[in-house]
Amino acid sequence: MAWRTISYQGRSWTVHPAAERRSSTADWQLIFGFRLSGQRPGGTRWALSPYTAVDKASLLRRADLITDEELAALLDGVETRHGG
Protein backbone atom coordinates (compact mmCIF):
# COMPACT_ATOMS: atom_id res chain seq x y z
CA MET A 1 0.00 0.00 0.00
CA ALA A 2 1.25 3.46 -0.87
CA TRP A 3 2.29 5.85 1.86
CA ARG A 4 0.98 8.69 -0.31
CA THR A 5 -0.27 9.20 -3.85
CA ILE A 6 0.48 12.36 -5.82
CA SER A 7 -0.50 13.64 -9.22
CA TYR A 8 2.37 14.67 -11.49
CA GLN A 9 2.02 15.70 -15.13
CA GLY A 10 -1.44 14.17 -15.35
CA ARG A 11 -0.37 10.79 -13.97
CA SER A 12 -0.88 9.23 -10.56
CA TRP A 13 2.26 8.18 -8.67
CA THR A 14 2.51 6.14 -5.48
CA VAL A 15 5.19 7.35 -3.09
CA HIS A 16 7.11 5.40 -0.44
CA PRO A 17 9.62 6.95 2.00
CA ALA A 18 12.76 5.14 3.05
CA ALA A 19 16.08 5.92 4.66
CA GLU A 20 19.55 4.86 3.60
CA ARG A 21 22.95 5.31 5.10
CA ARG A 22 25.98 5.81 2.95
CA SER A 23 29.28 4.25 3.93
CA SER A 24 31.02 7.63 4.13
CA THR A 25 28.83 9.06 6.93
CA ALA A 26 26.96 8.06 10.07
CA ASP A 27 23.89 10.04 9.01
CA TRP A 28 20.82 8.57 7.33
CA GLN A 29 19.31 10.25 4.27
CA LEU A 30 15.62 10.40 3.47
CA ILE A 31 14.79 8.97 0.05
CA PHE A 32 11.52 8.46 -1.80
CA GLY A 33 10.45 5.74 -4.18
CA PHE A 34 8.05 6.82 -6.93
CA ARG A 35 6.06 4.38 -9.04
CA LEU A 36 3.29 4.97 -11.53
CA SER A 37 0.06 3.74 -9.98
CA GLY A 38 -0.63 0.18 -11.11
CA GLN A 39 2.95 -0.40 -12.28
CA ARG A 40 4.95 -3.37 -11.06
CA PRO A 41 7.47 -2.78 -8.21
CA GLY A 42 10.50 -3.03 -10.52
CA GLY A 43 9.54 0.30 -12.06
CA THR A 44 10.32 2.31 -8.93
CA ARG A 45 12.37 5.48 -9.37
CA TRP A 46 14.29 6.65 -6.32
CA ALA A 47 14.97 10.28 -5.39
CA LEU A 48 17.27 11.60 -2.68
CA SER A 49 15.84 14.33 -0.50
CA PRO A 50 18.04 16.96 1.17
CA TYR A 51 17.08 15.72 4.66
CA THR A 52 19.49 13.76 6.86
CA ALA A 53 19.46 12.66 10.51
CA VAL A 54 21.34 10.40 12.88
CA ASP A 55 18.40 7.97 13.08
CA LYS A 56 15.81 6.62 10.67
CA ALA A 57 12.83 7.37 12.89
CA SER A 58 13.52 11.11 12.72
CA LEU A 59 13.61 10.97 8.95
CA LEU A 60 10.36 9.09 8.66
CA ARG A 61 8.69 11.64 10.94
CA ARG A 62 10.12 14.36 8.67
CA ALA A 63 8.68 12.60 5.62
CA ASP A 64 5.18 13.18 7.00
CA LEU A 65 5.80 16.94 6.81
CA ILE A 66 6.84 17.01 3.15
CA THR A 67 4.27 18.59 0.86
CA ASP A 68 3.00 17.12 -2.37
CA GLU A 69 4.71 20.02 -4.17
CA GLU A 70 8.08 19.06 -2.67
CA LEU A 71 7.52 15.45 -3.70
CA ALA A 72 6.62 16.55 -7.24
CA ALA A 73 9.86 18.57 -7.39
CA LEU A 74 11.86 15.48 -6.37
CA LEU A 75 10.01 13.40 -8.95
CA ASP A 76 10.69 16.06 -11.59
CA GLY A 77 14.44 15.62 -11.02
CA VAL A 78 14.15 11.84 -11.34
CA GLU A 79 11.98 12.05 -14.47
CA THR A 80 14.40 14.49 -16.11
CA ARG A 81 17.26 12.03 -15.60
CA HIS A 82 15.15 9.15 -16.99
CA GLY A 83 13.96 11.11 -20.00
CA GLY A 84 10.37 11.12 -18.76
Q: Where are the domains of the chain?
A: 4-81
Q: Which residues contact 45 (CB under 8 A, 6 or more apart)?
A: 33, 34, 35, 75, 78, 79, 82
pLDDT of res. 82: 58
Question: pTM, whole model, 2 decimals?
Answer: 0.85
Q: Which residues contact 52 (CB under 8 A, 6 or more apart)?
A: 25, 27, 28, 29, 30, 59
Q: Which tens digit of pLDDT belongs to each residue from 36-70?
A: 988 776 788 999 999 999 999 999 999 999 999 99
According to DSSP, the residues that pair with 33 across neighbouring strands are: 16, 46
Whether residue 30 is predicted with pLDDT greater than 90 in this model: the reply is yes
- 23 vs 79, which has greater pLDDT? 23
State the pLDDT at residue 2: 62
Any residues with CB less than 8 A from the CB of 2 and at least 6 apart, and which?
A: 14, 15, 16, 37
The top-level CATH class assigned to 4-81 is: alpha beta
